[in-house]
Chains A and B, each alone.
Chain A
């Protein structure tokens, strides 16, 4: 039926013609969104089985959501392992080893362990950076620096010094160091890759695949426009349902 035919037709015929036409146009337009919604809904239905909530979506997803990497509070290297604190969490080469941790004051390899110190705690790790023990000495003041003479571990306190035995975790205060050959741990400057690795580890599952697919499914992955687009698609689908039923029931024999 051409447009000229429609102009001369009855109102019912005209309505049927427009219903058929809009049904076709909306059907094609909504097809892409239908595929997207169907596919994402199908995957979301099995999100737990697929491990989506436990799978980070990656750096690009953080950029998409406008999330910046958190800053590194402190970093020291020992035995070629980078120890760093980000958002009160201690990482060794990007792997989380303890939470509720203050700023580091040093890290030292004392064979066969590595000693890492904050102002009020020690972390003893294996040479592979597995956490052996976490220990908070009653130092009577904050620790400022960590050093070694090659065999023993020393800390500089607010008033004086102390020696730590990492095996027994004994902590002996002293007024002065026993010698002048103590090397103090110095802060490390992480490389760009390490900064990204630590930031991603600190953000962890902030954006996981389940969250990403849910937002894609609902249209929230885009700003306000995404929600309106999802609304329009939903309305178009509703219209197609009704127009489809009407066209089906009123078709000619």
Chain B
């Protein structure tokens, strides 16, 4: 009886570890399908100009590693796939913004050995409906996870930056649609 209980406990632990390990949780096609209902929404790019570079340095704590960032859009909804380093390796986040508020955030790929707990809804649900404040920060704080502090910070920075990018993209599109 004791041996069976020990075996069941071992099996449960192995399943729990396997379910939580680092890896690719969602492909881009799956993320876009979830976000827009189809895999091929129109895409566009935001070029990182001086204004965005300065804002990114404030929000992310470093300049973006790329000169342009691709996004997908449909009406008032935009989707962003952003890489942000947790401890040493980049974590890939998918952030969907609608009417200047986050609709949902997904951890698409996690490459480090610790901190993968941020992929679960109990954490990612905190980002829903967050907006940018006048000072450019998130409208609510994010609860930390013990042992995943750097991953939580990376997620928070990415969500904040996605809102900044959405705001910039909407302003750029509006200016292009209504030139003076």
- Give me the interface of A with B, judged by CB distance under 8 Å: 88, 97-100, 126, 130-136, 138, 168-169
Residues of A within 8 A of B140 (CB): none
Contacts A97-B65, A133-B66; A169 near B89 (Cβ below 8 A): no
Closest residue of A by beta carbon distance from B65: A131
B43 touches A133 (CB 8 A): no
Residues of A within 8 A of B111 (CB): 100
B85 touches A99 (CB 8 A): yes
B34 to chain A, nearest CB (A): 14
12 contacts between A and B (CB under 8 A): A100-B83, A100-B111, A131-B65, A133-B66, A133-B68, A133-B69, A134-B66, A134-B83, A136-B28, A138-B28, A138-B29, A168-B43
A225 to chain B, nearest CB (A): 34
Residues of B within 8 A of A98 (CB): 65
- Give me the interface of B with A, judged by CB distance under 8 Å: 27-29, 43, 45, 65-70, 83, 85, 88-90, 111
Residues of A within 8 A of B68 (CB): 132-133
A54 to chain B, nearest CB (A): 14
B89 touches A88 (CB 8 A): yes
A218 to chain B, nearest CB (A): 27
Residues of B within 8 A of A132 (CB): 66-68
Residues of B within 8 A of A136 (CB): 28
A131 touches B90 (CB 8 A): no
B67 to chain A, nearest CB (A): 5
Give Cα A169 to B66, complex, Å.
15
B45 touches A133 (CB 8 A): yes
A48 to chain B, nearest CB (A): 18
Give Cα A34 to B68, complex, Å.
55
A130 touches which of B27, B43, B67, B89 (Cβ 8 Å):
B67
Closest residue of B by beta carbon distance from A123: B66
Give Cα A98 to B45, complex, Å.
19
* New contact pairs (6) apart from A97-B65, A133-B66, A138-B28, CB-CB < 8 Å: A99-B85, A100-B83, A100-B111, A126-B67, A133-B68, A136-B28
